[in-house]
Structure 1
Amino acid sequence: MTSYIEPLAQESTPSIIADKLRKAIGHGELKPGAQLGEADLARKLGVSRGPLREGMQRLTQEGLLVSIRNRGLFVIDMTPDDIRDMYLAREAIERAAIRKILRGDHAAAGKALLAIVDQMAASDGDPAAIGELDIAFHELLVRLADSPRLLRMHRTSIVETRMCIHALEETYSAVDFRAAEHFALAEALYQGDAEIADQVLIVHMDDAIERLVNR
């Protein structure tokens, strides 16, 4: 397993530290509910406590860390209500991204997304590989909308999605229809069909909530 909590190879900045911690949370290296020890993290990252505190403060503002008075700083723990709320936000962001894509070169966007679907089909049902490609598909979807604000808002919800998938990987991947769902969405974008693209995304998000919450 790749470790994201390791010494930085260059002069650190709060943004670099925040990105390292964000990836560690998303990939399950820092578990939901885990307490962050400032001295231990500073040692592992090879940074001073000042930039580390600033980096952790960024993640607190994003909602990935929570400060509990007299106890310390903790990775958030995703409850069923949190999962539903996170997917509500993701759905709003990605539906907006789809609308913007459809106003531009939607065929090229659809083709780029179909390339990821092809990788899903070639993954031989490997849950970890499909999970990573699932995330890559949705990150690319929002990136193709060419909206820095949508991309910035999407980043936190994608980390939370990773947390859920890693925590519940066996259940989430037991019956995997994700390749088919992603194909339908990418094909609708390629064809420029706004109605189908919107409907497929909504069903896809509802399906994810069902698998993660009602396990």
Structure 2
Amino acid sequence: MAPEGLFALKGIPTAQRIADHLREQIVLGSIRPGQQINEFVLASQLNMSRSPLREALQRLCQEGILFYRRNRGVFVSQVEKHDLREIYKVRESLESAAADRLLDGSLRQIKETCEALKEIVNEMAKQVSAGDQQRVAGLELQFHFALVAGAGNSRFIRIYKTLAAESRMCNLDMDFSRARLEVLVEEHQNILDLLEAGDREALFKAIKRHMQKAVEDLTATHQGATP
């Protein structure tokens, strides 16, 4: 479940494909907070007409990922400090609900999800050793998306795409120490272990602690942001 294919879906309306593509680029860090979306350039790059592109931009504005400035155009939203707690609290609730549904599912479903999570955690550890923080951040979101996707609920997945993009906008400029990155890998390994063990209560607590720690880290980074 590589990031390049995170939101790559076929057989869906053009406007939705464009919205998914733009959301994916934000998650990957290719499009950054505050950046203007040039309709003409983007339409040329995607070889698409302006009509579905504008519809896609409207959808992302409704999600809060983009915003429109009169007479200036469309820009990528910038997540402020006061948004952090809301975003991560919703993530906690959604991931806990997904984990709950997953544990109520089949053993095969749990096994397949755990196998996907193991691959991601192993890759995270490799990228920590390589010192690639941006890659680690992308893999971190992959892990949580795979957890949510494992529940097999299409609405969970749809909502989480927006949350993933918002989360990525929060942590693009994070500068973690090597020690913190190693702990980050341990936190995800712990979530995986608890899911594999079927320890529902401990899993919920681990997800909650992980989200709380993320908010603490991000709040420290955003000290200079507008409250």
Q: TM-score, normalized by length of structure 2?
A: 0.81
Give, in angstroms, the shift of residue 37 of structure 1: 2.4
Return the alpha-carbon distance in structure 1 between the equivalents of residues 120 and 43 of structure 2. 37
The answer to whether structure 1 residue 148 and structure 2 residue 149 are counterparts is no
Return the alpha-carbon distance in structure 1 between the equivalents of residues 65 and 177 of structure 2. 22
Give the equivalent residue in structure 1 for 2:7. Answer: none
> Which consecutive unaligned segments of at least 5 residues does structure 2 have?
5-12, 222-227
Give, in angstroms, the shift of residue 47 of structure 1: 2.0
Give the equivalent residue in structure 1 for 2:22. Answer: 21
The answer to whether structure 1 residue 122 and structure 2 residue 126 are counterparts is yes
Give, in angstroms, the shift of residue 191 of structure 1: 0.7
Q: Secondary structure at the match of 1:208?
A: helix
What amino acid does structure 2 have at the position aligned with 1:180? E
Decide whether the 8 Å contact of 1:172 with 1:212 is kept in 2: no
Decide whether the 8 Å contact of 2:19 with 2:60 is kept in 1: yes
The answer to whether structure 1 residue 158 and structure 2 residue 159 are counterparts is no
Return the alpha-carbon distance in structure 2 between the equivalents of residues 151 and 98 of structure 1. 13
Return the alpha-carbon distance in structure 1 between the equivalents of residues 50 and 18 of structure 2. 11
What amino acid does structure 2 have at the position aligned with 1:78? V
Decide whether the 8 Å contact of 2:133 with 2:176 is kept in 1: no
User: Does 156-165 or 180-189 show the bigger shift?
Assistant: 156-165
Aligned length: 205
RMSD: 2.3
Give the equivalent residue in structure 2 for 1:131. Answer: 137
Decide whether the 8 Å contact of 1:111 with 1:190 is kept in 2: no
Give the equivalent residue in structure 1 for 2:32. Answer: 31
Decide whether the 8 Å contact of 1:94 with 1:142 is kept in 2: yes
Cα deviations by residue, 1:54-97 (Å, 9 ceiling, x for unpaired): 11112112211112334322211110112221111111110100
Give the equivalent residue in structure 2 for 1:188. Answer: 194
- Counterpart selection for 1:175 from 173, 180, 188: 180
What amino acid does structure 1 have at the position aligned with 2:42? L
Return the alpha-carbon distance in structure 2 between the equivalents of residues 135 and 24 of structure 1. 13
Give, in angstroms, the shift of residue 25 of structure 1: 2.1
Give, in angstroms, the shift of residue 41 of structure 1: 2.2
Give, in angstroms, the shift of residue 204 of structure 1: 0.4
What amino acid does structure 1 have at the position aligned with 2:148? V
Ranges of 4+ aligned residues in structure 1 off by more than 3 Å = 109-112, 171-174
Return the alpha-carbon distance in structure 2 between the equivalents of residues 147 and 79 of structure 1. 30
Return the alpha-carbon distance in structure 1 between the equivalents of residues 115 and 198 of structure 2. 12
What amino acid does structure 1 have at the position aligned with 2:151? A
What amino acid does structure 2 have at the position aligned with 1:117? V
Return the alpha-carbon distance in structure 1 between the equivalents of residues 179 and 51 of structure 2. 44
The 5 Å alignment of 1:27-106 reads 27-104=28-105, 105=107
Return the alpha-carbon distance in structure 2 between the equivalents of residues 174 and 63 of structure 1. 34
Give, in angstroms, the shift of residue 44 of structure 1: 2.8
User: Does 122-131 or 143-152 show the bigger shift?
Assistant: 122-131
Q: Secondary structure at the match of 1:15?
A: helix
Q: Secondary structure at the match of 1:159?
A: helix
Q: From the superposition, tell whether residues 171 and 50 of structure 1 become closer, same or farther in structure 2 (CA, over 3 Å).
A: same
Return the alpha-carbon distance in structure 1 between the equivalents of residues 85 and 91 of structure 2. 10
Q: From the superposition, tell whether residues 163 and 121 of structure 1 become closer, same or farther in structure 2 (CA, over 3 Å).
A: same
Q: TM-score, normalized by length of structure 1?
A: 0.86
